[in-house]
């Protein structure tokens, strides 16, 4: 059996999102569902409720005033922001562990994932072009495939790193040459197992190769550049290091320049810094 087949065979073994989170995501995709049904689904999970209230009062998510109840959060934030809070809360426990294959310490993937989600949001704001509702979800989950390869399969990334250096290719290209699959495809396959929306799966699948996505590339371009912003700040760097490169076509399609990229980076760092106490690896975020 090839390494690729071994990886794909193990994907169904990965723990899924909490039942409440999966239900919330499904309800959010149903135009007939309202915020009341979504809040009712969340209330069945006390831990999720507590986490959402903590996140709701953080710097990035915070509304005009302090939120003290779940119902209040629903009224203030609306459906989309609540879905983002649920997803962030659900992904943290899955992504907080060390990724041995990528030499990433505990909590580093969470910081990277939040940085990508925030950076995508900041880029859209600077471009004055609203991001579609699934942007935050896709950005937060962009590198979730690394959990499969780095933690559950404990892939030895040293040969991948060596090949990337020798052939001067990006890490994900070397990953595919060695394993027959890269973390983007693994992540997309995992999200299919979790029954997440196709628009999210497509962005996760092509976030390192945005030119390969058919149709509108706005969200995948945002996430692609947001990943580069996070890595340039030293977040999510393990053995793969800086062996990623931004697509010039994605930069051009978004109409970005150095000034906008620097501003987006500064805005992302400011928000992420204020959220540090909520993230795994910190006393209040563990």
- The answer on pLDDT for 283 being more than 60 is no
Q: What is the rounded distance in angstroms from the CA atom of residue 286 to the CA atom of residue 276? A: 11
CB 169 within 8 A of CB 208: no
Q: What is the rounded distance in angstroms from the CA atom of residue 198 to the CA atom of residue 193? A: 12
State mean pLDDT over 267-278. 82
CA atoms within 13 A on the CB side of 284: 10
State mean pLDDT over 56-74. 78
- The answer on pLDDT for 281 being more than 60 is no
State mean pLDDT over 37-59. 84
Q: What is the rounded distance in angstroms from the CA atom of residue 206 to the CA atom of residue 236? A: 18
* DSSP code of residue 44: T
pLDDT digits (tens, 9 = 90+) for 164-217: 888 888 888 888 999 999 999 999 999 999 888 899 999 999 999 999 999 999
- The answer on pLDDT for 67 being more than 50 is yes
pTM here? 0.87
- The answer on pLDDT for 264 being more than 70 is yes
Q: What is the mean pLDDT of the chain?
A: 86
CA atoms within 13 A on the CB side of 84: 24
- What is the total residue count of the chain? 286
- The answer on pLDDT for 142 being more than 90 is yes
* DSSP code of residue 153: S
State mean pLDDT over 7-25. 85
Q: What is the rounded distance in angstroms from the CA atom of residue 189 to the CA atom of residue 17? A: 14
State mean pLDDT over 220-245. 81
């Amino acid at each position: 059996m090839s390494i690729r087949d071994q990886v794909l065979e193990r994907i169904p073994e990965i723990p899924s999102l909490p039942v409440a989170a999966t239900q919330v995501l499904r309800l959010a995709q149903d135009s007939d569902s309202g915020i009341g049904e979504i809040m009712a689904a969340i209330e069945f999970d006390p831990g999720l409720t507590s986490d959402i209230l903590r996140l709701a009062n953080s710097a990035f998510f915070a509304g005009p005033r302090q939120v003290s109840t779940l119902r209040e959060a629903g009224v203030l934030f609306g459906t989309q922001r609540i879905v983002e809070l649920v997803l962030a809360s659900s992904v943290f426990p899955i992504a907080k562990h060390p990724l041995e294959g990528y030499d990433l310490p505990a909590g580093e993937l969470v910081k990277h994932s939040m940085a990508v989600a925030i950076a995508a949001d900041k880029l859209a704001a600077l471009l004055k072009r609203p991001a579609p509702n699934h942007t935050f979800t896709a950005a937060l989950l962009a590198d979730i495939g690394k959990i499969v390869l780095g933690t559950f399969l404990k892939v030895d990334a040293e040969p991948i790193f060596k090949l990337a250096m020798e052939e001067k290719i990006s890490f994900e290209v070397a990953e595919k040459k060695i394993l027959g699959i890269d973390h983007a495809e693994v992540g997309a396959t995992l999200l299919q197992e979790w029954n997440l929306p196709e628009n999210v799966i497509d962005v996760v699948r092509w976030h390192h190769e945005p030119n390969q996505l058919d149709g509108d590339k706005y969200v995948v371009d945002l996430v692609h550049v947001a990943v580069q912003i996070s890595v340039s700040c030293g977040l999510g760097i393990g053995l793969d290091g800086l062996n990623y490169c931004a697509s010039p076509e994605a930069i051009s399609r978004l109409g970005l320049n150095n000034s906008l990229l620097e501003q987006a980076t500064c805005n992302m760092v400011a928000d992420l810094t204020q959220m540090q106490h909520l993230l795994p690896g910190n006393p209040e975020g563990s």
